[in-house]
Each structure stands twice: as structure tokens, then as C-alpha cells.
Structure 1
Amino acid sequence: LSTVRHQPEGLDQLQAQTQFTRKELQSLYRGFKNECPSGLVDEETFKTIYSQFFPQGDATTYAHFLFNAFDIDRNGSIRFEDFVLGLSVLLRGSVTEKLRWAFNLYDINKDGYITKEEMLAIMTSIYDMMGRYTSPSIRDDSPFDHVEKFFQKMDRNRDGVVTIDEFIETCQKDENIMASMQLFENVI
């Protein structure tokens, strides 16, 4: 039986679509192929790799949400192209591009809105990933408090959901949110 292998798009095309140089793309591809010889990453492999970075906590749920944000075509696997396009936005994109990517991460069901339930699921997964024994210690109601504060700032028209426009506009005007965005960049 031959194994199906995914061949990435041409380097020139990826270089045009991303903020990476040819050498950087080649280096990223070597690392990707080393971890995922088939050229595709399924969710379980992604969780295993990602969890290695957070041994003090449980990163599986956050890794699930992150996987879905990278899995652009929603086929259950991440191609090198998907990975490198997302990474380019996160590392070298404009503030607006990064905020759009973050919105996509938080919008779990991809309906164009962030609900309190979605935000709570993400926040809880981040707190779980960071570990219960962090310093200063995290209270059990911290994710809920975080979500309440988030919605007070973001949900401008008080309709119970946050749109992409509310999200981007509020984030760009709020220094604390922009600082926490930097924090989330480190998590990714």
C-alpha cells in the first residue's frame, strides 16, 4: 500500500502569499516534514506536538481550537500551506490581520459572531493550558470574569454577541486588550 503524501504548492506562490522569505519557507517546510512526514497534520498529532510546549497544564482543548483556526478548508487536517499562511499572519501580519485571525479562533462555530459561550470555552482552555499551579494562582472563576469584562468592552450594541467590527474596533482602541493580544501571540 502506498501512502498518500501531500505536496505543497510552489515556493514562489507561498512566498507571494506570506511574509516569509524563500529560505524561511524552506526551513519551516523541513521542520514541518520532520514532524509530519506525510505533509499533513491531523488533529491528534497537532495536539501532541502543541502540548509539548505546555507541560504544566492541559493544552488539548486549546490545541483543538487552534487546530480549527489553522484548518482553513475544514477537512480535518492542516496542510503546510495552511500552517504557513496562519503563521505568517500571526508573526508578521498587520494588527488588523492578527485581530481577524484571533476573531476566527474565538468564533468556534464560524457563524461570524463570538458568543459568551465561545469565549468562555476558549478562556477556560487557555487557563487549563497555563496550568492550575501558576503564580499568581488562578481562581476557578477567572475565565468567567475575563469573559464578562471582555463582553462589557466589546459588545457595543449589547446584543449578546461580538461582531468582527466590534472586535477589531474595540481592540484597536484599548491598550489593555492590545497588551493581552501580545500575550496570546506568545501562547501561539
Structure 2
Amino acid sequence: MSAASRKAAESLAESLSKQVKHFSRTETRRLIHQFEGRCGQQPGRRAGSGLDRGQFRNMLHRTFGLTHDIIMDRVFSVFDRDNDGYIGVREWIAGLAVFLRGSLDEKIKFCFEVYDLNGDGAISREEMFHMLKWSLSRQPAEEDPEEGIKDLVEIVLKKMDHGHNSKVSYADFEKTVREENLLLEAFGTCLPNAKSIQAFEQQTFQDLPQL
């Protein structure tokens, strides 16, 4: 890397570490370096475009153990704030800050955005059904799986639908999760577990001084 490139990278790390919570400047620099390496592995990548959907999904699956197709696509969309079909370096850092180290408030917002498939500000019966169908259809069952999923959706609505309008608003979701944290990922795993976070951070931030 040339001196000019190093200076630009340091300047970007300094800027991002001030804008995004949870990462130090040195950690941000490591994440930028990792981002550049991942982008460089993409054949036919458009210059300056960022991380594409396929590469990002591959990371979610291999590094963090996510397997739900719909959920992985939605996580990509939540990271891709400008909706250009690529995750830029700023989106990468900001997304990982919540994904890896987010507060409960940040995680509630993140999970809700993932589950709100059409982005209308509410999780409908249909959206719940589609997300739960993929997970439950993989489990062996003697009964009609779709009937079981419909029953589960009704149970979830009874628990979460505080407005009694057959859908879960952000306020409904937030209230329910604050009362019962285990319901944060009620519609599918969209956050990494502690073990995968530790492995990722050890690999990414190895040799950095402990704060």
C-alpha cells in the first residue's frame, strides 16, 4: 500500500470511528482492511461498488452460521442503507457495529427492520408466516406443517399484537422484547451468537491491545 493510500485509510478510519459507536479507530482500520480484502475476492466486481449480495450472504453463513435465505437477504438489505445493491465501507462498519456489539435498543431496531419484509413499518401475518415456514418446514412433522405455522403465527400475534390489529408494529415489538428478551429473534435468527462473534473478533482484531 502506498503512503497516500495508507493516509487515506487512516483518515477514513478516524472519520468512521467518530461516526459509528462501538469500534475504536484501530478496530475500524482493521475492518476497513478486511472489507477491502473481501471486495477483492469478488470476480467481475464493479470498481468502487462494495460488497455484493452473494459475498455478504456467504459471510453470514460461513462466519456467523445464518441459514435462513429470507433472513440473510433482509440482513443484507438492512446493511445496504442506500439500496444500491452493494454494501459500501461505511455501511459495512455501521452494520457490523450493531450486528456484533449493538445495545438492546439497536438490536431491537435491527431485528424489526429485518422482519419487516416490505418495509411498511409493521410485521404482518403473511410476513410472519413466510419467515416461520422456512424454519419449521425443515423439521420432520406428521401433521400439515402449514397448519402448525398458522397456529404459531396466531400465538405470536396474541403475545405481540398490543394494538389488536393483526400485525406487529415497532412499538408492539419493542414492548414485547423489553418484557421478554428471548423474543428478540422470534421470527428467525438474524444476529450472530456469542461464540461466532468471539471467533470473528479474535480473527479480525488479533494482536490489537485490549481496551
User: Do they fold alike, i.e. is TM over 0.5?
Assistant: yes
CA distance in 2, matches of 1:108, 1:180: 14
After superposition, the Cα gap between the structure-2 partners of 1:14 and 1:143, relative to the gap in structure 1 and judged at 3 Å, is farther
Residue 78 of structure 1 deviates from its aligned partner by: 0.9
Larger Rg: 2
1:88 to 2:97 alignment = yes
Q: Which amino acid aligns with 2:164?
A: R
CA distance in 2, matches of 1:98, 1:161: 20
CA RMSD after TM alignment:
3.3
Kindly report which structure 2 residues correspond to 1:153-164, keeping only aligned pairs within 5 A, or say none.
Answer: 153-164=159-170
1:48 to 2:58 alignment = yes
Please, which moves more after superposition, 71-80 or 88-97? Answer: 88-97
Indicate if the aligned counterparts of 2:114 and 2:190 stay in contact, CA closer than 8 A: no
Q: Which amino acid aligns with 1:174?
A: E
1:146-178 Cα offsets, whole Å, 9 max, x none, are 433322111112101111111101110124425
Indicate if the aligned counterparts of 1:108 and 1:118 stay in contact, CA closer than 8 A: yes
Report runs of 4+ in structure 1 exceeding 4 Å deviation: 141-146, 178-181
Which consecutive residues of structure 1, in runs of 5 or more, have no partner in the other structure? 1-6
Indicate if the aligned counterparts of 1:50 and 1:59 stay in contact, CA closer than 8 A: no
- TM-score if structure 1 supplies the norm length? 0.75
After superposition, the Cα gap between the structure-2 partners of 1:170 and 1:118, relative to the gap in structure 1 and judged at 3 Å, is same
Indicate if the aligned counterparts of 2:128 and 2:153 stay in contact, CA closer than 8 A: yes
Name the SS of the counterpart of 1:61 in structure 2: helix
Indicate if the aligned counterparts of 2:160 and 2:168 stay in contact, CA closer than 8 A: yes
1:109 to 2:112 alignment = no
How many equivalent pairs are there?
174
1:36 corresponds, among 39, 42, 47, to 39
1:3 alignment partner in structure 2: none
Q: Percent identity?
A: 27
CA distance in 2, matches of 1:74, 1:83: 13
Higher relative contact order (CA 8 A, sep 6+): 2
